[in-house]
């Protein structure tokens, strides 16, 4: 009698083979980026004033956007997961939109919204300038990352059994107290994971940042913009080095995501 | 309604902006008709300044129809396509300014005898319709509170040229102060001036003839003595694997037949 294992072994081997092959191909393409430059070239690009500026600005803006994304996406996701209200499915559909269209479209839409023709003059009267400024970077990153954060946090809340909340309510705790003392602690690892994903998404946001904030050299230059500008300057060392930096950040983000989701690598 | 129109026009511009390497191909010709044609089945890559996208798409479609050749094209800022040339990926090199071809000749990336001037490239001041900041000449760009978008001097050809113009006029520091955004391609400038985000910019005169721009911006010429008029040259890369086809294309776009297309898109011929 054949064991079911040997019976399916060609299928098993095929799928595992495909998984290995494409992982290898991806790894190879990432690896190429690491080996095109001499270490001394990477180092000198890393230590250049432009790269420092861009790294600092990337960290600053992404932290600010991550913080504001988390503040807004937690209540949004909670509302979508726990309450039913009119327009809920519309909200979910609209929130899904930016994930389906290119970031450039998002940037253009934001440019027209915050620009001269619409909100711009009112905001400027209030002393707020969004287009072509560092605030513009944060705004662009916010709108790029927000839908993803809502999605991840929504599924985190969905995974928590509402009975815990009902028990808490039955002891006489209010909605907000229950949320703070029961739901949030239970969602802790999911929230942490989503803030990491959000941070990575913010630091990698490009198209929207380029159009709304302009992508000016040493002014609104974040890491992906450094990559783009240096490609257009024909400066391979700087372009590749900013690519390596972005990849390192993405790698750290995915790694901590895997660990906090309880998965093992 | 007008807002919607502006939005659609700007979307089209965004596609031009992101347009690297994806030129529209002319209608494909059935193989049977194709056989007598000179270069059927042969292919070269043309690297062109992003500002030349309109005439270049038309010239390439015409050339493909006539000869059966397959022309790949990559559009980018002049410095960017210079980088592509150095990595040996171009057969024909057409930057927005002779400066880059000069560099390529110096470093032996192109055949010197293949260099031909196509047209003039004339910098002009572009302002949104109705000219909100009342710009009438170069000096007005130095006024405080004028908001400018300019090409990055290290990126597109227009960036280097506009810096040179302001230096010559002695207003570079004031202009730098007024510049709120610097872009890596000249097409991005068009978006910012058409959407009214800035009061003025410096672009190439020919771009004003684009349908995307018509009625959305006004052009203020820069007097010749203040201006830096450039020429657009074409050249064949020494790394080309099909010198015959590359040379044929090079000659075609500099020829009389092509002149009509250049003029149609607002470029001035060199000899006039």
Rounded to the nearest integer, the mean pLDDT of chain B is 85
Using the beta-carbon criterion (under 8 Å), do B154 and A217 form an inter-chain contact?
yes
B218 pLDDT more than 70 = yes
Q: Which of B77, B82, B182 is the closest to A216 by Cβ?
A: B182
Cα B200 from Cα B131, distance rounded (Å): 8
Q: Which residues of B touch A232 (CB under 8 A)?
A: 76-77, 79-80, 152, 155-156, 184-185
First and final C-alpha spacing in chain B = 42
CATH of the domain at A188: 1.10.3720.10
Q: Tell me whether domains B43-120+231-269 and B123-221 share a fold.
A: yes
Q: Is B227 helix (H, G, I), strand (E, B) or coil?
A: coil
Helix (H) or strand (E) holding B47: strand B43-49
Q: Residue ranges of the domains in chain B?
A: 43-120+231-269, 123-221
* pLDDT score recorded for residue A3: 54
Range of the domain at A60: 40-261
Helix (H) or strand (E) holding B181: strand B179-183
B272 pLDDT more than 70 = no
The answer to whether residue A26 sits within a structural domain is: no
Chosen from A233, A237, A239 to mutate, greatest number of chain B CBs within 10 A: A233
* pLDDT score recorded for residue B109: 93
- Superfamily classification of domain B43-120+231-269: Periplasmic binding protein-like II (3.40.190.10)
* pLDDT score recorded for residue A264: 42
* pLDDT score recorded for residue A36: 84
How would residue B61 be classed by pLDDT, with cut points 50, 70 and 90? very high
For the segment B144-165, the average pLDDT, to the nearest whole number, is: 92
- What is this structure's pTM? 0.77
User: DSSP letter at A133?
Assistant: S
* pLDDT score recorded for residue A37: 86
Rounded to 10 deg, the angle between the B98-106 and B157-169 helix axes is: 110
Which of B18-22, B156-160, B208-212, B227-231 has the lowest average pLDDT?
B18-22
Q: Which residue in this structure is represented by tokens 């809502």?
A: A150
For chain A, the domain total comes to: 1
Concatenate the DSSP letters of all residues of A5-60 into one string.
Answer: HHHTHHHHHHHHHHHHHHHHHHHHHHHHHHHSS-HHHHHHHHTSHHHHHHHHHHHH
Are B196 and A116 a contacting pair, CB within 8 Å? yes
* pLDDT score recorded for residue B15: 52
User: Mean pLDDT for each consecutive 10-residue tract of chain A (265 residues)?
Assistant: 63 94 92 86 92 95 97 95 92 89 91 89 90 94 95 91 89 90 90 90 94 90 93 85 92 80 48
Dump pLDDT digits (tens) for B103-135: 999 999 999 999 999 999 899 999 998 899 999
- Percent of chain B, pLDDT > 70? 85
**Cα R_g (chain A), whole angstroms:** 22
* pLDDT score recorded for residue B271: 62
The answer to whether residue A168 sits within a structural domain is: yes
How would residue B6 be classed by pLDDT, with cut points 50, 70 and 90? low
* pLDDT score recorded for residue B104: 93
What class has domain B123-221?
alpha beta
| Angstroms from B191 CA to nearest CA on chain A | 9
* pLDDT score recorded for residue B13: 56
The answer to whether residue A241 sits within a structural domain is: yes
Q: Is A233 on the interface with B (CB under 8 A)?
A: yes
Concatenate the DSSP letters of all residues of A141-174 into one string.
Answer: HHHHHHHHHHHHHHHHHHHS-HHHHHHHHHTT--
Q: Is A116 on the interface with B (CB under 8 A)?
A: yes
The answer to whether residue A3 sits within a structural domain is: no
Report CA-CA distances (Å) from A200 to A59, A206, B188. 10, 12, 27
């Amino acid at each position: 009698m054949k064991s079911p294992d040997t019976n399916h072994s060609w299928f098993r081997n095929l799928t595992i083979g495909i998984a290995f092959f494409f992982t290898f191909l991806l790894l190879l393409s990432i690896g190429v980026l690491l080996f095109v430059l001499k270490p001394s070239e990477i180092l000198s690009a890393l230590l250049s004033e432009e790269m420092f500026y861009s790294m600092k600005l990337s960290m600053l803006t992404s932290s600010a956007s991550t913080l504001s994304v988390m503040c807004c996406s937690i209540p949004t996701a909670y509302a979508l997961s726990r309450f039913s209200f009119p327009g809920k499915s519309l909200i979910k559909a609209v929130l899904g939109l930016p994930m389906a269209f290119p970031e450039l479209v998002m940037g253009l839409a934001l440019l027209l919204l915050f620009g001269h023709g619409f909100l711009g003059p009112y905001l400027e009267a209030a002393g707020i300038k969004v287009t072509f400024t560092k605030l513009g970077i944060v705004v662009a990153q916010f709108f790029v990352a927000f839908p993803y954060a809502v999605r991840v946090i929504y599924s985190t809340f969905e995974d928590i059994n509402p009975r815990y909340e009902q028990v808490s309510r039955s002891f006489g705790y209010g909605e907000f107290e229950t949320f703070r003392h029961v739901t949030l602690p239970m969602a802790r690892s999911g929230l942490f994971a989503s803030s990491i994903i959000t941070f990575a998404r913010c630091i990698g946001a490009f198209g929207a940042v380029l159009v709304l904030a302009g992508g000016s050299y040493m002014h609104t230059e974040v890491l992906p913009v450094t990559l783009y500008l240096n490609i257009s300057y024909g400066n391979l060392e700087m372009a590749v080095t900013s690519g390596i930096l972005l990849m390192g950040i993405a790698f750290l983000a995915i790694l901590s995501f895997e660990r906090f989701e309880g998965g093992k690598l | 309604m007008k807002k919607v129109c502006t939005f659609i026009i700007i979307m089209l511009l965004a596609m031009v902006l992101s347009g690297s390497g994806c030129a529209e191909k002319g209608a494909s010709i059935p193989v049977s008709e194709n056989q007598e044609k000179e270069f059927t089945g042969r292919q070269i890559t043309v690297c062109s300044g992003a500002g030349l996208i309109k005439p270049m798409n038309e010239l390439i479609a015409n050339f493909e129809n006539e000869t059966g050749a397959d022309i790949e094209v990559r559009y980018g800022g002049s410095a960017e396509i210079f980088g592509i040339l150095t990595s040996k990926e171009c057969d024909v090199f057409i930057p927005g300014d002779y400066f880059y071809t000069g560099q390529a000749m110096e470093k032996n990336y192109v055949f010197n005898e293949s260099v031909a001037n196509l047209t003039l490239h004339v910098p002009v001041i572009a302002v949104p319709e109705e000219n909100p900041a009342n710009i009438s000449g170069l000096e007005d760009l130095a006024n405080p509170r004028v908001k400018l978008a300019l090409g990055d001097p290290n990126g597109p050809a227009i960036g280097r040229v506009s810096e040179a113009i302001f230096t010559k006029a002695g207003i570079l520091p004031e202009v730098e102060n007024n510049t709120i955004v610097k872009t890596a391609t000249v097409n991005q400038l068009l978006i910012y001036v058409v959407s009214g985000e800035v009061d003025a910019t410096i672009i190439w005169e020919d771009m004003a003839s684009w349908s995307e721009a018509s009625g959305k911006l006004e052009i203020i010429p820069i007097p010749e003595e203040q201006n830096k008029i450039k020429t657009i040259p074409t050249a064949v890369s020494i790394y080309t694997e099909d010198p015959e086809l590359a040379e044929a294309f090079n000659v075609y776009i500099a020829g009389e037949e092509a002149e009509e297309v250049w003029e149609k898109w607002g470029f001035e011929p060199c000899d006039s």
